[in-house]
Amino acid sequence: MKRAMREIIFDTETTGFDPASGDRMVEIGCIELINRVPSGRTFHAYYNPQRDMPAAAEAVHGLSSHFLSDKPLFASGVTDLLAFLEDSPLVAHNARFDFGFLNHELRLCGRGEVSLDRMIDTVAIARTMHPGAKHSLDALCTRYGIDRSHRIKHGALLDAELLAQLYIELTGGRQIGLGLAQEAAKEEFGAELAAQVAVRSVRPARVFAASATELERHAAFIATLDKPLWLEGALAD
C-alpha cells in the first residue's frame, strides 16, 4: 500500500541575515501537506532572541524586542517543533537562509542539525520554470494569481501559507494529488468507500447518424439553392 506523501512548508523571521554574526530566529511557521494538499495541521511559535531587534528587521516583520521579551527561548520549544517536522522534506523559499537559521538554533541547544538532503527550495524550482523572471514570493504569487492582499508585513505562518499555495502551483497544481487521493482513501477508509472518490472513466463519443428521411429533406433543400458557392469549383471542372 502506497504511503501518503508528507511535506512541511516553513518560513522563519529573524533579527538579520547572518546567524554567524549573532542574528537569531524569532519566529517559525509550518504548514503540513499530505499528497500536496494542506491537511489543516500547522505549527507556529515566537522565540525570545535574547538580543535587540534591529530597526531594519522590525520594519520587515513588525516584531519588536518588547513583544518578544516574554516569549520562550527556542530551546524550550525545540522538542515540539521537531515532533511536528518529523523526518519529512522541508520546503522553503530561498531555503538555505531558513535552513541556516534553523540549524544554528539547533546547534545552540545541542540538537542535531536538519540534513540539507531534506531541503526543497522553491526559488530554485521557480528559476528553472521561469528563467529571467522575478522570483520573490510576492512576484510569484502575482504570477500564479495567489491572493496576498492581507499580507501587510512578513509573518512566518502567513508566508508559509502563501508558499504552500505557490509550491502546489509550481509542482503541477492541485491535480497532482488526484492520483494519490484514492490510495490515501483506501488506507484510511477501506476499498469500498475509496471507490467513491475514484475518477470516473471517460465515456466513448456518441455517434449521431442522419436518418433516410432527413437525408432526403436535406437533398431537396440543396436542390432549391441557386448556384451554391461550394459547387462552383465542381461545375468548373
Contacts of 43 (CB under 8 A, 6+ apart): 28, 29, 30, 80, 81, 84, 85
Catalytic residue among 104, 130, 135, 154, which?
Answer: 154
Contacts of 157 (CB under 8 A, 6+ apart): 11, 29, 30, 31, 42, 44
- Is 154 designated active site? yes
Cα dihedral sign, 46-47-52-54: negative
- Kindly give the pairing relationship between strand 90-92 and strand 6-14: parallel
Main-chain dihedrals φ then ψ at residue 232, nearest 5 degrees:
-60, -45
Active site positions, annotated: 154
